[in-house]
Chains A and B, each alone.
Chain A
Amino acid sequence: MTSIEKIVTDFADADAGNVRAAGFSRPRTVSKNWLLIISWIAPLVLLVGWEWLAQAGWLSPQVLPAPSKVARTTFKLLLSGSLVNDLGVSLLRAAAGFAIGGAVGFALGTLVGFSTIAQALIDRSVQMIRAIPFLAMVPLVIVWFGVGEAEKIFLVSLGVAFPIYINTTLGIRQVDPKLLELGRVQGLSTWSTIRRIILPGALPSILTGVRYALATAWLALVVAETIGAQSGLGFLAMDAREFLRTDVIVLTILIYALIGVAADAITRWLERRLLRWHPNYAEASA
């Protein structure tokens, strides 16, 4: 017992050395905070320049209204409640489309990832449909569903399903066969193998799919709402175009951009949480 303890402490010393030697940090001349501040200078200069040009009358308000004008419009629309309402409608469409498309893509991807027969049956057809730019489907989708909620949600689902499908299949295929062999040696059931080895192994790839899918979901929604809608952000923009309210148009564009950024932040957060075991996402873990 004592000799084993000795061996063990010897180990601890030797190994601690190895691990410490492996860690290194990038040499840095400027501190992180300064870099952050510097990175915000250019956008701020652009914004101030834009405001100045508009105030000086160099920019027609019909072409590009001043940022301060856009801010006032935002405030007014927020007070009237119409902005919140339209934003809510758009987010709901995106969420519904994402849920449906994501579920279909994940289910098909899992099936094809696990079974070569399912792959033979499904994969070629999916790849053929994928070759169509999904926005080219818009006229057909309108014929099928008319201009309404179903058409918009269908378009979003279509855009979401493919990136999720492809990355799920890829992720499952890339799981280390040596770990699957380990699962057999440890006597894992099929379900345990899926839950503890295959899905976690495929997760980094699936989350990459989610990130792509969020981008396409948003793109699909912009197009769908621009074509014909009685509510939503796209409707707000089209309505504003009728009345040459460039400030409202700029506002909707900004909101689309903000939501894109927020969606990306959510996936990053998910990656940090779910992949905290992964060396590439390790920063957040203790």
Chain B
Amino acid sequence: MTLHAVPLRSVPAVVVSGLRRSYGARHVIDRLDLRIDRGEFVALLGESGCGKTTLLRALAGLDPVQGGHIDAPRRPAVVFQEHRLLPWENLWRNVSLGLEGGNPRQRAAHALAEVGLGERLDDWPRNLSGGQAQRVALARALVQEPELLLLDEPFAALDALTRIRMHELVKELVARHRPGVLLVTHDVDEAIALADRILVMRHGAIAFEHSAVARGSAAATRTRLLHELGVISTTAQVV
């Protein structure tokens, strides 16, 4: 919390304080504090099993909170690694799933147009490629006008070129809708490309924080992050 200066007049999208979650005797999340502001893009890195997915699930309300608090103004939107489209509903019905208020078709159409699939409202998910399906999942998340958008390795299953195009699209959309974003990933380069702030999680807590303001060259950042992740063992290699 204290590691970065909170900008003036910033509105929190979520504030986590003292979050704890354990399976048996093992603390997967151990007194974790985190604040994400609206319009802020935060990437969360960490080895497998460090608790980053557990944290995301807790924020999404999928797992009960065992200790501490999560203060989020509204239900966050989630994009998972798999698109999770309902195969028996066409695209606009998929996008408007759980959407409250009037004109669901029109609002879904607008969201689909934003991800470049505005012509395919009545198409079935089975006719989509992996990248297209993930764009529909993104539209389904954004149509809810979320204050907090949770991305659980949403690009991990895509091929390299599609992933790069997807990065650009997400950046544009987040800049326009300005939700607070938490991107869980294990791709250091993805985190550098997208995030304002990069967190490294270790043993259930935030072990390292790197904000774009303090950032040097991308190469230096990358080396530092790899060091924090335990991939590079000595600090001597830090440029």
Contact = CB atoms under 8 A, between A and B. Distances in A.
A4, A10, A183, most chain B CB atoms within 10 A: A4
Given A178-B80, A282-B126, A9 B86 contact: no
Contacts of A181: 62, 84
B87 A278 contact: yes
A14 B172 contact: no
Nearest to A5: B116
B135 interface: yes
B66 interface: no
Interface in A134-187: 178-179, 181-187
Interface stretch (A53-61, A195-203, A241-249): A195-203
Interface in A1-34: 3-5, 7-12, 14-15, 18-19
Contacts of B90: 277
B132 A15 contact: yes
Interface residues of A, number: 36
B84 A182 contact: yes
A19 B62 contact: no
A278 B89 CA distance: 10
A8 to B, nearest CB: 3
A188 interface: yes
A244 to B, nearest CB: 55
Interface residues of B, number: 38
A201 B114 CA distance: 29
Interface string B34-48: 000000000000000
A7 to B, nearest CB: 5
A285 interface: yes
A276 to B, nearest CB: 8
10 contacts: A7-B116, A8-B169, A11-B135, A18-B130, A178-B82, A184-B61, A186-B97, A192-B98, A200-B88, A277-B125
Interface of B: 60-62, 75, 77-78, 80, 82, 84, 86-90, 97-98, 114-116, 124-132, 135, 140, 144, 161-162, 165, 168-169, 172-173
Q: What are the 9 A-B residue pairs with the smallest beta carbon separation, nearest first?
A: A8-B116, A186-B98, A18-B129, A200-B88, A15-B129, A277-B88, A182-B84, A4-B172, A185-B78
